[in-house]
Amino acid sequence: MIKVEWFYWLCGLLFLFGAVLTLRDRSNSKRYGSAAFWGLLGASFGYSTFVVNKTAPAWVLGLVVIAMTVLVGTGQLGRGTEVSTSLAEKAAAAQRFGNKLFVPPLVIPLGALIFAVGLAKIKAGDQPLLEKGSETLIGLGVSAVAAAMVGVIMLRPPSVLTPLKEGHRLLEVIGWAAVLPQMLATLGRLFTDAGVGTAVGKVTTHVLPEGSLFGSVVVYCLGMALFTVIMGNAFAAFPIMTAAIGYPVLVQTFDGNPATVFAIGMLAGFCGTLTTPMAANFNLVPAALLDMKSRYGAIKAQLPTALPLLVCNIFLMYFLAFGVL
C-alpha cells in the first residue's frame, strides 16, 4: 500500500537538503540560522511520523516548533542572493525549448487526474493500493516526482540535483510562511482546547434576534464568516455555529431543510476564508510565493468578492431553505 507518510518523508528530505545547501551558500548573510531553520523543519517532518503513531513524545516536537519560531522572530532566517540563470539565459532557453517547457508542469495535473479517476479504486491484494483518505495527496506526491523526472530527461540540467536546488530557491522565497499554515492548525487546536469556540458561540447566541427567521439566517451566516476569520478555517467554525444556531434555531424552530442550511452555511464560512490572514496557506503563502510587496495582496484582491458573496449566501439560504419562495 502506498502511504502518504512516504511523501512527508520526501518533504523532510527536501528541507534537509535545503539546509545543507544553505549552510554552503556564502551569499546568504544569515546562513547558519537559516540552515538551522530548514534543518529543524526537515527533522520535524520525519519525527512527526512517530508522534502521529504515538511512539515518540509530542512535546519534543513542540519544543522544536517553538525553536523555529524563535529563529524567525530573532531575524535569523535569510535567503541567498545567487540567481540560477540570468534573464537573458532564460529567454534563450525559452526560445530553444518553446512549448515543450509546459510538458513537465502539465504532468502534475495529468497525474492528479489519473490518480483521482483510476487508481483510487484499485486494490493491491486485499488492501487498497493508496492509503484511504489520502488518495489526492498521494496523487500529488507521485505526480510531482514523475514531473521532476520528465523535466530532467527533457531539459538535461547540469546535474540531477538541479531540480532540488531550484526547488530550494523557491522555498527560500516562501521562507517562514512555509511553516505558518501548520502553526495555525496548532493554534486552532489550542483555541478549541481552551474553550474559545464555546465562548464565541455564547456571544453569538446573545445577539440572536428572538423569533426572526431572517435575523437568525443573518447571524448564522455572519457568525460562520466571522468565526472563520478568527480561526482561519471554516471547518472549525461549522460545528460551533451549527450547535449554537444552525441546528436548534434554523432547522428545529424554523423547520429549514438541513442540507440547504448546512451547505450554504459552510460556504458563508468560505467567504470568511477569503478575507483572513489566518488562512495562511490560501492567502499568505501565495503572497510569498509570488514575491508580493504586500503580505495582504491576495486578501485585497478577494475582499470585494467575499462581501457580496456573503450577502448572496444570506439571501440564498433565506429563500431556498425555508420554502419562502
Partner 1 sequence: MLVLIGVLLVVVGFALRLNPLVVVTVAGIATGLLGGLSPGKILNEFGNGFAGSRSVTLFIVVLPVIGLVERFGLQEQSRRLIGKLTFLTTGRLLASYQVIRQVTAAVGLMSIGGHAQTVRPLIYPMAEGAAERRYGRKLPEAVQERIKGHSAGVDNVGVFFGEDVFIAVGSILLITGFVDSTYGLKLDALHVALWAIPTAVCALLIHGGRMLYFDRQLDRLMAVDGPPPALKKKEADR
304's CB contacts (< 8 A; 6+ apart) are none
From 23, 119, 129, 289, residue interacting with partner 1 (rule: CB under 8 A): 289
From 151, 201, 223, 256, residue interacting with partner 1 (rule: CB under 8 A): 151
Distance (Å, rounded) from C-alpha 173 to C-alpha 72?
A: 14
Which is nearer to partner 1, 125 or 236 (by Cβ)? 236
| Residue 28 contacts partner 1 per CB under 8 A | no
Which is nearer to partner 1, 125 or 149 (by Cβ)? 149
Q: Which of 237, 238, 285 is nearest to 263 (CA)?
A: 238
Residues 290-319 touching partner 1, rule: CB under 8 A, are: 290-295, 297-298, 300-302, 304-305, 308-309, 312-313, 316
CB 142 → partner 1: shortest distance, Å? 9
Chain-centroid distance of CA 190 in Å reads: 18
How many chain residues touch partner 1 (CB under 8 A)? 145
CB 173 → partner 1: shortest distance, Å? 9
| Residue 30 contacts partner 1 per CB under 8 A | no
Residues 214-273 touching partner 1, rule: CB under 8 A, are: 230, 234-235, 238-239, 242-243, 247, 258-260, 262-264, 266-267, 270, 273
From 43, 119, 131, 162, residue interacting with partner 1 (rule: CB under 8 A): 162
What pairing do the DSSP bridges indicate for beta strands 123-124 and 127-128? antiparallel
| Residue 43 contacts partner 1 per CB under 8 A | no
Residues 103-122 touching partner 1, rule: CB under 8 A, are: 104-105, 107-109, 112-113, 116
From 245, 283, 318, 322, residue interacting with partner 1 (rule: CB under 8 A): 283
Task: Give DSSP secondary structure letters for 106-135.
Answer: HHHHHHHHHHHHTGGG-EETTEESB-TT-H
Q: Which of 104, 215, 213 is nearest to 167 (CA)?
A: 104
- Between the alpha carbon of residue 41 and those of residues 164, 180, 241, 282, the distances in Å are 16, 12, 35, 21
Q: Which of 41, 116, 36, 120 is nearest to 78 (CA)?
A: 36
Distance (Å, rounded) from C-alpha 281 to C-alpha 290?
A: 13
- Between the alpha carbon of residue 17 and those of residues 100, 165, 290, the distances in Å are 28, 8, 23
CB 209 → partner 1: shortest distance, Å? 22
CB 55 → partner 1: shortest distance, Å? 12
Q: Using DSSP, state whether 227 is helix, strand or coil.
A: helix
Residues 61-80 touching partner 1, rule: CB under 8 A, are: 61-63, 65-66, 69, 72-73
CB 216 → partner 1: shortest distance, Å? 17
Which is nearer to partner 1, 125 or 222 (by Cβ)? 222
Of 24-32, 122-130, 207-215, 275-283, the segment contacting partner 1 by CB under 8 A is: 275-283
From 16, 36, 224, 280, residue interacting with partner 1 (rule: CB under 8 A): 280
Scan for cell 425555508, then name that residue.
322
Distance (Å, rounded) from C-alpha 274 to C-alpha 282?
A: 8
Task: Give DSSP secondary structure letters for 288-324.
Answer: HHTT-SSTTHHHHHHHHHHHHHHHHHHHHHHHHSSS-
Distance (Å, rounded) from C-alpha 205 to C-alpha 197?
A: 12
Of 24-32, 123-131, 176-184, 207-215, the segment contacting partner 1 by CB under 8 A is: 176-184
| Residue 286 contacts partner 1 per CB under 8 A | yes
